[in-house]
Amino acid sequence: MGAGYAGLMAALRLGRKRQELRIALINASDRFLERVRLQESIVTEVAPRIPSISAFLTGTNIEFFCARVISLDADQRRIRIVSNAQEQEIAFDEAIYALGSRVDVDGVPGAAEHAYRLEAAEGPRSPSALRTRLQDNADRPLRIITVGGAETAVEVAGEIKTAWPSTEMTMICSSRCGDFKGARVESAVRTELARLGVRMIDRETVAEVHLAEVVTDKGSSVPFDICVWSGGLRSAPVASGGGLATDLQGRIWVDPNLRSISHAHIIAVRDAAHPIAPTGAPYRLSAFVAIASGAYAADVILARRAKRQLEPFSFSTFGQGIAIGRGGVGFPSYPDDKQAGFIFTGRTARLVRNFFVWFITYALKLERRMPGFFFWPGRRRVSWHQANEAIQRIRTAQKVQTA
């Protein structure tokens, strides 16, 4: 379920010729979405590197359904999908849940009605609608607010301010804008934003969004012409509605093999999963974690067929890059996703980031040609002893809370 980075990688890896598997890949669109490039679509339409999923899968043993998952019955192992107003039910032995997440606008009054967000869906608050609004008003200085202070908000602010320099661009964050990877990265990010002329409002939480202003928890009123919501994610409601054990954000609680702790025949990946065991580097939203977890999910299914058990899912990271207009900030983060060593900025950082974004898609193309090709570092960082100890600590804490 889901053909983003994780779901497509999992399906391709399962499609090995020697495996007698019936594989169904379900996705709401035939177009592959590079989520890490969504901020680019604010300025111009982004040409997809994989234009058609169905064409990409031609010649494989993967059956593609361009349909939306509307319900999941985890106990009965049934998925209900809809395409062109026609519903269909699919039975399965095992499922990989890769439906991802959406921008969480439910908790703040007015955010859903008045704020744009970077998501795949089309509609009045989509990236394409935002692009049209900006282009239609290019001849006048707009007041634009982006809510959030992490990577997405930074990239939104950078793209808009670079493409439309006359805009009055403001970021509002409940902590500090750019504070997502330590003091040195924060300083570099804020320097780049300040160079572009982005105003930053720190330590204020948006409590309400009105038609032309946001109101913060401190009672401040900040007027705007356009508001972009970049704060927080929530997983699709399909998992919780299907009876799976989920956390408060709707992510599926998974064991060291990424299997649901309530329904072991369902494996969750990327930001749809919440591991209860350590994963080496911290498990967070990223394209690299997506393809690594998708590849691992496929390996778990193949290992079960071969009556083998894999080591717990784990990984190491290489680095991270944030695009800020035509420049950016980049740094190594091996192995634990913490900034280490040097930081580079400007056009060099943007170029390096763009290379790795391209490589993620290229890895999918290589997996298409050679299933089982993809390899990621840190696959043996977590032992079963460490995983079991972590699980036991969680169970003990739960018993104490219940008592």
User: For residue range 169-186, what is the model confidence (pLDDT) as tens digits?
Assistant: 999 999 999 999 999 999
259: number of Cβ within 10 Å: 20
Please check the confidence at residue 20 and state whether its pLDDT lies above 90.
no
Per the model's pLDDT, the better-predicted residue between 395 and 261 turns out to be 261
- Predicted confidence at residue 376, as pLDDT, reads 95
Is residue 118 a contact partner of residue 230, using CB atoms and an 8 Å limit? Answer: yes
The backbone region for 261, taken as left when phi is positive above 0, alpha when psi lies in -120 to 50, beta otherwise, is alpha
pLDDT at residue 403, rounded to an integer: 67
What is the Cα–Cα distance from 270 to 7, expressed in whole angstroms? 9
Q: DSSP state, 260?
A: B
Report which of 60, 28, 33, 227 is spatially closest to residue 144, judged by C-alpha positions.
Answer: 227
Distance of CA 166 to the CA centre of its chain: 31
Average pLDDT, the chain: 95
Tokens 């009556």 sit at which residue? 307
| 37-86 residue pLDDT tens | 999 999 999 988 999 999 999 999 999 999 999 999 999 999 999 999 99
Confidence class for position 105, pLDDT limits 50, 70, 90? very high
**Domains in the chain: boundaries:** 5-100+242-396, 105-231
Q: What is the mean pLDDT of residues 186-197?
A: 98
CATH top class, domain 105-231: alpha beta
Residue 238 to residue 244: CA distance in whole angstroms: 9
> 169: closest CA among 220, 134, 139, 129?
134
Cα distance between residue 85 and residue 99, in whole Å: 20
Mean pLDDT, range 288-298, rounded to an integer: 97
The pLDDT of residue 331 is above 70: yes
Among residues 96, 80, 54, 37, the alpha carbon closest in space to that of 270 is found at: 96
Amino acid at 42: I
d(CA 365, CA 395): 41
Question: Nearest Cα to 314, choosing from 246, 385, 380?
Answer: 380
Cβ 169 vs Cβ 161: under 8 Å: yes
DSSP string, 169-221: EEEE-SS-TT-SS-HHHHHHHHHHHHHHT-EEE-S--EEEE-SSEEEETTS-E
> Which sign does the torsion angle of CA 337, 340, 345, 348 carry?
negative
pLDDT of residue 68: 96
Q: Measure CA 203 to chain center.
A: 25
What the block records as the tokens of 90 is 């699919």
> In CATH terms, is domain 5-100+242-396 a member of 3.30.390.10?
no
Q: Taking the model in full, what pTM does it have?
A: 0.95
Residue range 193-217: mean pLDDT, rounded:
97
pLDDT given for residue 16 in this prediction: 79
Q: 213-253: per-residue pLDDT in tens?
A: 999 999 999 999 999 999 888 898 999 999 999 999 999 99
Within 85-165, strands assigned E span: 86-91, 95-97, 101-103, 143-147
Looking up tokens 């680019």, which residue turns up?
40
5-100+242-396 and 105-231 agree in CATH topology:
yes
Residue 23 parent element (H or E): strand 23-27
Fill in the DSSP letter of residue 362.
H
